[in-house]
Structure 1
Amino acid sequence: MDYKNILYSAENGIATITINRPKALNALNTETVSELRDLVGKIAADSEIKVVVITGSGSKSFVAGADIVEMSTKNAVEGRAFGKIGQDTFTEIENMPQPVIAAINGFALGGGCELSCACDIRYASENAKFGQPEVGLGITPGFGGTQRLPRVVGRGYGKELIFTAGMIDAQEAYRIGLVNKVVPQEELMDTVYALAKKIAKNAPIAVQLSKAAINRGINCDVITGIAYEDEVFGLCFATEDQKEGMGAFVEKRKATFTGK
């Protein structure tokens, strides 16, 4: 598939997805979401990719939301279908084997905030703004916001953001735990790539199994989650990376992981 609204690059095991609709503040229309889902599927199946970074083009917006111009003419059936496309795509991002870092370089509103919540880690620039404005438009969040946002920041903050349709700045987002770090805009991508490289140097299978265990555990009771952790912990001992990692520790040398 040729992508009209997405830029993609990969280097040294780190993939970068850039939503590229700057004239629309990178708003997500059906075409963009479909492109994103196609690309995410390809990256997820690529064993050479260790970490994924998602950002928006320009200096004003990460993703300003779903495309309101497109949504404004939809009926109930079409609206539900559009929501399902977004939900399915963001769920695929959440469940990618690789860790996904959101580099939030501006507005992350509606679908943009929901996209960031589907990522594993969120770094923001100082000019970033967050919000779920949907109820002010007569709709609910539709790309997973009612479910993921309260899981990220807690029910109280999640409900306040959704019920008020308000907007918060990057420092407030950091205070409530919506983002991990806030940096000057000119430092955002370098800071994100430094984090990505730090993750990518570790044993890929162990990182991916850790992500799977965390995601599964959040959605079940702690005893079931611990049981799953026990399974993936044991599975690691069947990998070459486990032998290499522990051997390097014993031998006091730097480990070289192969993802096997």
Structure 2
Amino acid sequence: MTSRLEVADGVATLRLDRPPLNALDTAVQDRIRDLALEASSRDDVRTVILYGGEKVFAAGADIKQMQAMDHADMTARARDLQDCFTAVARIPKPVVAALTGYALGGGCELALCADYRIAAENVRLGQPEILLGLIPGAGGTQRLARLIGPSKAKDLIFTGRQVMADEALALGLVDRVVPAPEVYRQAHAWAARLARGPAIALRAAKEAVDAGVEQGLEAGLAIERTWFAGLFATEDRTVGMNSFLQEGPGKAVFAGRRPHDVRAGDAPS
């Protein structure tokens, strides 16, 4: 088998499948990018789960492949490497990482691209690149610092140490810790709940948060108000408000569509 996208009832599982440890060689990296772009474009995909299987999420890069690369090779590859992970971070739909076993190096960096992380009690996470005389190269120095703060990120990156689930939860590196057999089920429940939500509003919320963090408060507020006003042109807004007034909160059935007379340019893309 190869890494693949499995879709059912609006939930897509981006399944890493390179036994035994899901080492992220260049072929797997490129495959992740292609699957992320597919998930982004498919109308039948409403949410995405990143999953490596019951035993391991991803134990890092393929060190044998990297050892054979010189400075010129990596200079040519480095941007492609980052772009593969950025494609996951830019999926305009909620993304949850279901973490089992090891999420180290590139595996940890891939998990950082998700919106939410559910980890097994026995999981180990870390950025051990410094132990190879390197630094994280697939977004780890940037996304980790934004998630848990610069000082805590530097501790993990400088030492290369691995953290268990309880410390990862305390650091904010993961959002929920559950028994190992429960990881995928709980990730699927999270994704399935959101798959029934208002797709355009969820995209708006994700893009407003992410862009605001990157660009600062004033720019973020401008993005928020543009999206907020734009959502008043959606069918889901009409359905949601009518349902609230007639039945109370939480009972709306959303279609995830704009009216036919609304142009795509009326809301940020």
TM-score (norm 1): 0.95
For the Cα contact (< 8 Å) 1:26–1:57, is it kept in 2? no
Partner of 1:14: 11
The offset of 1:86, in angstroms, is 2.1
Aligned partners of 2:59 and 2:105 also within 8 Å: yes
In the alignment, what sits opposite 2:53? 57
Aligned position for 1:35: 31
2:61 is paired with a residue whose SS is coil
- What one-letter code is carried by the residue in structure 2 that aligns with 1:222? L
Count of residues in correspondence between the two structures: 255
Task: Write the distance in 2 (CA, Å) between the matches of 1:194 and 1:86.
Answer: 31
1:177 maps to which of 167, 172, 184: 172
Identity within the alignment, %: 40
1:43 CA displacement? 1.2
Q: Cα RMSD between the aligned structures? A: 1.1
Kindly indicate whether residue 106 of structure 2 is the aligned counterpart of residue 111 of structure 1: yes
Instruction: Measure how far apart 1:85 and its partner are.
Output: 2.1
Match of 1:255 in 2: 252
SS of 2:233's equivalent in the other structure is: coil
Q: Deviations over 1:86-125 (max 9, x none)?
A: 2101111111111110000110100011001111111100
Partner amino acid, structure 1, of 2:33: R
**Using the alignment, how far apart are the partners of 1:65 and 1:82 within structure 2?**
17
- Counterpart position of 1:165: 160
Task: Detail structure 1 runs of 4+ shifted over 3 Å in the superposition.
Answer: none
**Structure 2 partner of 1:230:** 225
In the TM superposition, residue 8 of structure 1 has moved relative to its aligned partner by: 2.4
Letter in 1 for 2:221: I
Letter in 2 for 1:35: R
Residue 47 of structure 1 and its aligned partner are, at CA, apart by 1.6
* Aligned partner of residue 57 in structure 2, secondary structure: strand
The answer on whether the counterparts of 1:131 and 1:168 sit within 8 Å (CA) in structure 2 is yes
Deviation at 1:57, TM superposition (A): 2.6
CA contact (8 A) 2:54 2:181 kept: no
Question: Aligned partners of 2:200, 2:244: CA distance in 1, in Å?
Answer: 18
Which structure 2 residues correspond to residues 180-219 of structure 1 after superposition, within 5 A? 180-219=175-214
Structure 1 residues not aligned, in runs of 5+ = none
**TM-score when scaled to structure 2?**
0.92
AA aligned opposite 1:40: A
In 1, Cα distance between equivalents of 2:101 and 2:213: 29
- Indicate the residue corresponding to 1:245 in structure 2: 240
3-state SS of 1:74 partner: coil
